[in-house]
Amino acid sequence: MRLLRSSTRFLLRAAAYIWASPYTVAGLALGLACGGRWRLVRGVVEIHGPGVRWVLEHLPVSAAAMTIGHTVLGRDPGALDRTRAHERVHVRQFERWGLLMGPAYVAASAYAYARGRHFYRDNPFEVEAYAADRRREREHSSAAGR
């Protein structure tokens, strides 16, 4: 039974990586084009460097980091550390939505904007990721208060 459970878990993880892989490949290509340093953190490739920083500063919403499949581009190692909880929510979103993630994200932004909301802050994908940030902050402040 235990072997079946771990085999099932492995197959589900493999399927999640395959499902998100077109975006992961695009993220890796962007990381290659930008240059910089790479590291593997719990199954996710994190890339940072001056080229990545330039790209992130010139997005419609300037970002400390950005997730593309199982790739996270960050301005520097500190930005990757600070945004890890938020960006891992996006990794899970890519695993759920696969190829549909890009169109779904854009549609969610358009829908928010059409309703008079902010296209980024009120996008449900971002709302979910920022909720993870707030949970992490609460855990850190309660741990510090002990």
Site residues for Zn ion per CB under 5 A: 126, 129
Report whether 38 contacts 46 (CB < 8 A).
yes
Cβ proximity to Zn ion: between 58 and 143 the closer is: 58
**Shortest CB 4 distance to Zn ion, Å:** 36
Among residues 10, 35, 40, 12, the alpha carbon closest in space to that of 24 is found at 40
**Shortest CB 22 distance to Zn ion, Å:** 19
Distances (CA, A) of 59 to 16, 53, 66, 71, 90: 27, 10, 10, 17, 17
Q: Which residue is nearest to Zn ion (CB)?
A: 129
Cβ proximity to Zn ion: between 12 and 127 the closer is: 127
**Shortest CB 53 distance to Zn ion, Å:** 17
